[in-house]
A and B are shown apart, each in its own frame.
Chain A
Amino acid sequence: MTFAEKTTDHRKLRRWEGNIEADYYYTSGLAGERFFTELKKSGKILATHCPKCDLTYLPPRMYCEICLAELKDWKEVPATGRVEAFTVARLDEEGREIKQPQVWALIKFPGVHGGFVHQVAAPEEKVKRGLEVRPRLKPQPLRTGEITDIEAFEPTGQ
């Protein structure tokens, strides 16, 4: 009978191992290009603004999602934001335990539509919804024009 003689020794089972190559380069696009270039150069965080709908988009968009107008009005976001929601990661991407749990949060800025999902440089017990944070940037020479140019968001202490 089949089930009685089922292999229980996994070493006798054969398998094919492989690695699906699905590498990609994802370009930032026109609005993203300006956003990241400015972040790298001056450390400023830019958003686009739709005067008609009075919406400020972060990350910046080329077109308004409501009225579809092209957005040409660029402005800096406020210096501090707040934790809108957060989670604590105890496992890394591959499911291995992380020694120091990481806090990841959705950060929003006053009057700005959208925000960032980024790491908060604070112990988990100190983080709560509404915590005021500001970006901590890498020193300019080390910045590469990527979101990791913002190392983390840290509490302002306010």
Chain B
Amino acid sequence: MGQTPQKWPGVELSNDDLVNKKVTQTRYHPKAKYSWSAGEAISRFLNELKEGRLIGRECKHCKKILFPPRMFCEQCFKPTSKWVYIKDTGTIQTYSISYLDKDAKRITEPIYVGVVSIDGAAEKMGIMHYFGEVTKDTIHIGMKVKAKWKPPLERTGSILDIEYFRPLREGEQ
């Protein structure tokens, strides 16, 4: 087979040709704005975070508390029955130790991230969050953890109103 062409047929354009309009062109900035609703259950969940509380929804048919809350039970598909406040302690279900940050830059101090199931809510159901005050040697599946909340005035009704989950201390509820 032939060699890869070093130069392709046609006219190559440089960045300068484009940016300084050396060639005729059409420029367009689409106004692609969106507003994505959190929905009924997650809206309430986020608003409660601002108050420093975790809330779930109970399915009376399956006798379990769904957390994060859902307006429909994912097991029996019936509408869930009522709102229930739950504790801010839980168990690490799975975790990852990341030496890459959110922009995939290499970092020396790792980020601990994983799924935590909340005490009182359905088992094996939980939220993803950061873990803090742990090391790569102490973090483990099954570790009991508690939410580390931001100070009330800094809370915005975001999942990051919880800074991270930290190990449950002795004697703590």
Contact = CB atoms under 8 A, between A and B. Distances in A.
Contact of A146 (B24, B35, B46, B157): B24
Contact of A22 (B32, B36, B46, B80): B32
Given A2-B80, A20-B34, A22-B30, A12 B43 contact: yes
A141 interface: no
Given A23-B30, A146-B26, A2 B11 contact: no
B29 interface: yes
Contact of A27 (B25, B35, B80): B25
B140 to A, nearest CB: 34
Main secondary structure of the interface of B (DSSP, over half): mixed
B36 A24 contact: no
Interface string A1-29: 11100110000111111111111111110
Main secondary structure of the interface of A (DSSP, over half): mixed
A33 interface: yes
Contacts of A145: 24
A111 B64 CA distance: 75
Interface of B: 11, 13, 18, 21, 23-40, 42-44, 46-47, 71-72, 79-81, 157
Interface of A: 1-3, 6-7, 12-28, 30, 32-33, 36-37, 40, 93-94, 144-147
Given A24-B27, A28-B24, 17 more contacts: A1-B81, A2-B71, A7-B40, A7-B44, A12-B43, A15-B36, A17-B33, A17-B35, A17-B36, A20-B34, A22-B30, A24-B28, A25-B25, A26-B25, A27-B24, A28-B25, A28-B26
29 contacts: A2-B72, A2-B79, A3-B79, A6-B40, A7-B40, A12-B47, A13-B37, A13-B38, A14-B38, A14-B42, A14-B43, A15-B37, A16-B35, A18-B34, A19-B32, A19-B33, A19-B34, A21-B32, A22-B32, A23-B28, A25-B25, A27-B23, A27-B25, A28-B23, A28-B26, A32-B24, A33-B23, A146-B24, A147-B26
